[in-house]
Amino acid sequence: MLYLIVALAALARFAPHPPDFSPAYAALLFGGAYLRKRDSIWFPVAALAVSDFLLTTAIYRMHFGWADTVDWLGFAVVAWIGWWLRDRISLKKVVAASLAGGTAFFVISNLGVWLGGMLYPRTLLGLGTCYVAALPFLGSTLASSLLFSGVLFGAYEYYRRRAQRLAHFAAPGR
């Protein structure tokens, strides 16, 4: 079920949504926190990388270049931040991880845009211009990370506790 949740969150990127407002960051955090450790980075990153490639080439009909793969490094960092949540998930920590993950992705992905050299010159001024131009997207990134992390982690925790309660009442001798 955990793998399905991550896959569905990656597929949700194909639904109409405002720019940079999708469950992608939450899926990465969730995968990092709950999937088996050996799968917790590669699986969510692969799911989002495939959706990223398909969105770029088939839906948006844009060229996919090497600089676009820098986003995948950003995906991996967000999943790695999810590791920090393992065995200590709380509202406060999910909020902190959501903000850290969204911020890390913003920094890494815009570095990739700048490194691509198509939009901004590869100078310090060009890097600064790239980050300033991307600031309007940071709010959507952080808001979606917080919202969808709350939904994924909250719904899963509710489901897990409910299943434990039902198992407790269904146990023999009750």
| pLDDT score of 62 | 85
pLDDT, tens digit, 9 for 90 and up, residues 6-25: 899 889 989 888 988 989 99
Higher pLDDT, 163 or 141: 141
Domain count, the chain: 1
33, 160 in Cβ contact below 8 A? no
| pLDDT score of 163 | 87
User: Could you give the percent of the chain with pLDDT greater than 70?
Assistant: 98
Domain span at 22: 2-170
Segments in the chain forming alpha helices (H): 2-11, 24-34, 42-54, 70-83, 91-116, 124-170
Mean pLDDT of 132-148: 96
Mean pLDDT of the chain: 91
| pLDDT score of 91 | 95
Cα–Cα distance for residue pair 90/47, rounded to 1 Å: 26
| pLDDT score of 87 | 86
| pLDDT score of 167 | 81
| pLDDT score of 63 | 84
Mean pLDDT of 52-68: 86
pLDDT, tens digit, 9 for 90 and up, residues 74-125: 999 999 999 999 988 999 999 999 999 999 999 999 999 999 988 999 999 9
Q: Domain containing 138 — which CATH number?
A: 1.10.1760
Secondary structure (DSSP) of 4-25: HHHHHHHHGGGS---TT-STHH
Count of CB atoms situated within 10 Å of the CB of 65 = 13
173 has pLDDT over 80: no
38 has pLDDT over 80: yes
